[in-house]
Amino acid sequence: MKKISCSIIGCGRISRRHIDVILKSLQKKFKIISVCDIDKSKAEATGKMISVPYFNNMKEMINHQIADIACILTESGNHPSHIVYLSKYYKNIIVEKPLSLNIKGAKQAIHACKKNKCRLFVVKQNRFNPAIVQLKNAIVSKRFKKIFLVTTRVRWTRKQNYYDQAKWRGTKKLDVNVIANQASHHIDLLLWLNGEVKSVFAYSKKSLAKIEMDDTVIAILKFKNNSLGCIEATTATRPEDLEGSITVLGEGGSVEIAGFAVNKIKTWKFLNNKTSDKKILLEYNENPPNVYGYGHIKFYENIYKSINNKRISSIDGNEGMKSVILLEAINKSLDLKKEINL
């Protein structure tokens, strides 16, 4: 099979992760043929770093050469408009989380891709974390029996210079709050593991960061399966990242996956013990080298198989929409200071 070509749109912080995965880990399956950023210096620096043409205008990049995939790594609030525009030219689009900051934008993006017969993939790399895969298998095989509580905690450090380096961060128009940005992947995991949410009540505050929106949010969830949930997210942890974790409690057992990137199994206990349980606890018990975890490689491999086999992906626009629906409800609860039914 030939290599799948990619164009990188947005040369900010997260672009380095995608570039590393494509060029260092999956270089036999993917290649990058161009990069683009409205900041000329970022586009030039990234293009020269990996020796590909660079542009500061998407139209110029399209006129030069159309890749198999457009990788949209731009500001969160610009994702829908960029998807709508690029879906006219590309057969496949990868977009970073979140798909959109609101349901309206997500619907526009999904509709445009459907209209233009463009496949849309939303970055959900934590689903492919080895420890999370084990947890999903345990849930599917009914080891928890009845789940009654799921929680996620994002206790990360983002000092003022993080926000100052990119002025869109922490703004209402392009980023919203810590829930939409840092906790987006963890919200996806809650929904993927435990199903749809029935209602939410949220609280927030500006703890340390000097930004427009809040850097600390707590949300209480009621799921349609009658379980409860809690999201705790902050970028005000000091002096360094503490954890990005998820806990599932059921009548049949308890699991906590901790570490700073939802990779390290801290608790793995069930009433119906299996011989494999000790091995699982020992094998998935280390932190990755960074907060991005181990899932991006598997994410891109999933896309490679999906494109070549022409099959429906498990990380498409409809999956991305699920997180957006909850994100919008959380923000509505913050605005109205009341419980919101989904």
337 — pLDDT class (breaks 50, 70, 90): very high
> For residue 47, which amino acid is it?
G
Residue % of the chain over a pLDDT of 70: 99
Distances (CA, A) of 323 to 60, 186, 245, 263: 33, 10, 17, 21
What residue ranges in the chain does DSSP mark as E strands? 4-9, 30-36, 54-55, 69-72, 92-95, 119-122, 147-155, 197-205, 216-223, 228-234, 243-250, 253-258, 264-270, 340-341
Q: Are residues 331 and 283 in the same domain?
A: yes
Give residue-wise pLDDT tens across range 117-163: 999 999 999 999 999 999 999 999 999 999 999 999 999 999 999 99
Q: What is the CATH number of the domain that holds 111?
A: 3.40.50.720
Q: What is the CATH number of the domain that holds 160?
A: 3.30.360.10
Q: Are residues 160 and 273 in the same domain?
A: yes
Q: Are residues 60 and 177 in the same domain?
A: no
Q: Cα separation of 141 and 123, whole Å?
A: 26
25 — pLDDT class (breaks 50, 70, 90): very high
- The total number of structural domains that make up the chain: 2
Q: Are residues 110 and 225 in the same domain?
A: no
Roughly how many angstroms between the first and final C-alpha of the chain, as a whole number? 44
Give residue-wise pLDDT tens across range 80-111: 999 999 999 999 999 999 999 999 999 999 99
Please state the pTM of the whole predicted model: 0.96
Q: Are residues 77 and 201 in the same domain?
A: no
Cβ pair 295, 127 in contact under 8 A: yes
Q: Are residues 19 and 69 in the same domain?
A: yes
Q: Are residues 111 and 137 in the same domain?
A: no
The mean per-residue pLDDT over the stretch 203-219 comes to: 97
What 3-state DSSP class applies to 90? Answer: coil
Determine the pLDDT at residue 287.
73
Contacts 24+ apart (CB under 8 A), 46-51: 46/8, 46/11, 46/15, 46/19, 50/19, 50/23
Cβ pair 332, 57 in contact under 8 A: no
Q: What is the DSSP letter of 97?
A: S
Determine the pLDDT at residue 335.
97
Task: Check whether 261 has a pLDDT greater than 90.
Answer: no
Determine the pLDDT at residue 312.
78
Q: Which residue has the tokens 């949209």?
A: 72
The mean per-residue pLDDT over the stretch 40-62 comes to: 97
Residues contacting 293, CB < 8 A, separation 6+ = 125, 126, 129, 261, 262, 263
Q: Are residues 209 and 220 in the same domain?
A: yes
Determine the pLDDT at residue 2.
87
Task: Check whether 289 has a pLDDT greater than 80.
Answer: no
Q: Are residues 269 and 309 in the same domain?
A: no
The boundaries of the domain holding residue 77 are 4-124+296-315
Determine the pLDDT at residue 161.
96
Q: Cα separation of 39 and 42, whole Å?
A: 5
Residues contacting 22, CB < 8 A, separation 6+ = 6, 30, 31, 32, 300
Task: Check whether 45 has a pLDDT greater than 90.
Answer: yes
Q: Are residues 21 and 66 in the same domain?
A: yes
Q: Cα separation of 76 and 308, whole Å?
A: 29
Determine the pLDDT at residue 260.
83
Q: Are residues 75 and 102 in the same domain?
A: yes
Determine the pLDDT at residue 36.
98
Give residue-wise pLDDT tens across range 228-247: 999 999 999 999 999 999 99
Cβ pair 257, 245 in contact under 8 A: yes
294 — pLDDT class (breaks 50, 70, 90): confident
Q: Are residues 8 and 45 in the same domain?
A: yes
